Homo-oligomer: A and B are copies of this chain.
Amino acid sequence: MVKVNLTKRQKEIIDTALNLTAKGGIQNLTIRNLAENLGITEPAIYRHFKNKSEIVKTMIKNFEVAGNQKIASVSNEGITGVEKFVKSRFSLVAANPPLAKVLFSEELFMDEPEYSELLISMMHKHKNSLKVMLLKAQEDGDIRNDIEFDMLFRLIMGPVRLLIKQWGLSNAAFNLIEKGDLLWESLKKTLKS
């Protein structure tokens, strides 16, 4: 199990780790680079984390929390819940830009099965909470009924992920929140029943 309550130093370390990963991939996330960027020596890192794996896993777990985001817990709010969820993705990333380059990058962590599993389980958690809301939205008549959930999920999260990726690749060259709102408007238009 990975710690949830982090010391100030631990937070600094995983924050630096996220920045290094965002800048140059996991290849760039080395203990040496970490220490250098923190202004301490490599062994000092091990006073705060057992090993590199714990650092990476803690970093991944904190993707969620990075922007002090609380994931709507089993909300059954229908389409407003979907909207909240989608928009929370944008504000999460906007508040912590390096996230744009790693949040939806499952491939970055595929060298260690432990990492991929963590990410995939997070993806499934999201999918499940969206499922409840989307089915409710279909019931409410807010979302068309002629497309099944799995496909609906792709139609929504695909563009969301792509927009965030484009924002990351462009180095935050546009206003993500604005474009995100616009995307949501387009999604509502195309998916309403």
CB contacts under 8 Å to B, within A23-42, are: 23-28
Copies of this protein in the assembly total 2
| Cβ-based interface call for A12 (8 A) | no
Q: Which chain B residues border A155 with CB–CB below 8 Å?
A: 155, 159, 186-187, 190
- What 1/0 mask marks residues of chain A from 104 to 127 whose CB sits below 8 Å from any chain B CB? 011111110000100010000000
Query: A89 near B: Cβ within 8 Å?
Result: no
- Kindly state whether residue A146 has any CB partner on chain B within 8 Å: yes
Answer yes or no: A160 CB below 8 A from chain B CBs.
yes
Taking Cβ atoms with an 8 Å cutoff, the residues of A that contact B are 23-28, 101-102, 105-111, 116, 120, 144, 146-147, 151, 154-155, 157-163, 165-166, 169, 182-183, 186-187, 189-191
Asked if B25 contacts A186 (CB within 8 A), the reply is no
